[in-house]
Amino acid sequence: MGDEYWDLDAILAEQQKLPSFFRMDVPGYGFLEGNLDVDLAANTRIELPYWLAEHLALNDYIDLELPKCFGHRVRNDLNASPTSVNLGSLCSYYYRFGVKIINLVVDAMLPDILADAFIARLPLIMDYTQTSRLRTDRSEFIYSLDETEKELYKTGHESVTAMAQWDQRKAVRIHTAEVLRRERTM
């Protein structure tokens, strides 16, 4: 829990859905499937938010399936051209969600996929921040980023802007302290 308790991004990442299969019949929980009067049968596939699926999976009530955003098609796209994949539309918290499910879903390749995608996409994000003074439309590029990448882009853009201000001497001016301006009387 710790620092993530008050972190809105962490809360939103935990809202992502995980395909889940109940291992047993669950009386009175048909509402999860949209049926108010029915029991939930064993092996029924239901999309549950991470925060609920984690607890149920750790207590062996459900089996989890890998979400589509981490499926074979997306992996193939990331292997072919990581910078052309629109992670923002797949899962707005792609990396945070991926890190959360690493220990829940049996998939030895997932950590490498997350790391490789991040490493491959980071130079492009930094290139865009360094050329931000050019008057080009970046909305499509920014839309394709997940929230972690958007935060990095924002930080990089702010750093470039601050550096340009400093370089043009428009940043903070250094002034003589009031104490040093007074005449000394001794």
Write down the domain spans for the chain. Answer: 17-66, 67-186
Alpha-carbon span 83 to 141, nearest angstrom: 10
- Judge whether residue 136 has pLDDT over 70: no
Q: Out of 36-50, 75-89, 121-135, 150-164, which region has the weakest mean confidence (pLDDT)? A: 121-135
63: number of Cβ within 10 Å: 15
- Judge whether residue 4 has pLDDT over 80: no
Alpha-carbon span 68 to 105, nearest angstrom: 13
Alpha-carbon span 74 to 89, nearest angstrom: 12
Q: What is the pLDDT of residue 185?
A: 60
Length of the chain, please? Answer: 186
- Judge whether residue 186 has pLDDT over 70: no
- Give the fold, CATH level 3, of 67-186: Methane Monooxygenase Hydroxylase; Chain G, domain 1 (1.20.58)
Name the residue type at position 57. A
- Residues 13, 50 contacting (CB under 8 angstroms): yes
The pTM of the full predicted model, rounded to 2 decimals, is 0.79
Q: What number is the average pLDDT over the span 34-51?
A: 84
Residue 50 confidence class, pLDDT cut points 50, 70, 90: very high
Pairing assessment for the beta strands 62-64 and 45-49 based on DSSP bridges = unpaired
Give residue-wise pLDDT tens across range 75-100: 999 999 999 999 999 999 999 999 99
- Judge whether residue 129 has pLDDT over 90: no
